[in-house]
Chains A and B, each alone.
Chain A
Amino acid sequence: MPHETPLVFLLVVVGLIGVHLFVPKTRGWVWKVVAGIGVVMFAIQPYFALVWAPPEREMGEVYRIIYMHVPQVWMALLALTINAVCSFAYLMKKSWVTDSLAEASAEVGVYFGIVGVTLGAIWAKPTWGVYWDWDPRLTTAAILIVIYTGYLALRGFVEDPEKRATWSAVMGIIAFVDVPILWYSVQWWNSLHQTQSSPKTVDPQMVMVLRWSATAFLCLLFVFIWHRYLAAKETRMKEVALPEALPPARPEAA
Chain B
Amino acid sequence: MFNFALGPDTALMRAHAAGYLWLGILFSSVLSLGESFRIESENLSLDGLKLAPADARAIFIGKALGNTLMLWLLSLVLLPVTIALFDVKVTLGIPALIGILLIGSLAISAPGTVYAAIASNARARDVLLPLLLFPILIPALLGCVKASALIFEGDPMNQLASWIRLLVAFNVVYWALGFILFPRVIEDD
Contact = CB atoms under 8 A, between A and B. Distances in A.
A173 B128 contact: no
A169 to B, nearest CB: 8
A147 interface: yes
A158 B185 CA distance: 13
A146 B135 contact: yes
A150 B177 contact: no
Contacts of B132: 150-151, 153-154, 171
B177 A174 contact: yes
Interface in B96-125: 111, 114-115, 118, 121-124
Interface residues of A, number: 23
B14 to A, nearest CB: 22
B122 A154 contact: yes
A25 B144 CA distance: 55
Interface residues of B, number: 23
A159 interface: yes
A120 B30 CA distance: 33
Contact of A167 (B118, B123, B173): B118
A157 B138 contact: no
Given A173-B181, A177-B173, A157 B136 contact: no
Contacts of A151: 132
A85 interface: no
B174 interface: yes
B135 A171 contact: no
Interface string A139-162: 100010011001101100111000
A151 B131 CA distance: 9
Residue in A139, A147, A158, A170 with the greatest tally of chain B CB atoms within 10 Å: A170
Nearest to B177: A174
Interface of B: 111, 114-115, 118, 121-124, 128, 131-132, 135-136, 138-139, 173-174, 177, 181, 184-185, 187-188
**Among all A-B residue pairs, the 7 with the closest Cβ atoms:** A146-B135, A147-B135, A150-B132, A170-B181, A157-B122, A167-B118, A157-B123
Given A167-B185, A177-B174, 5 more contacts: A91-B184, A151-B132, A153-B128, A177-B173, A177-B177
17 contacts: A91-B184, A143-B138, A146-B135, A147-B135, A151-B132, A153-B131, A153-B132, A154-B128, A157-B123, A157-B124, A170-B114, A170-B118, A170-B185, A171-B132, A173-B181, A174-B114, A177-B177
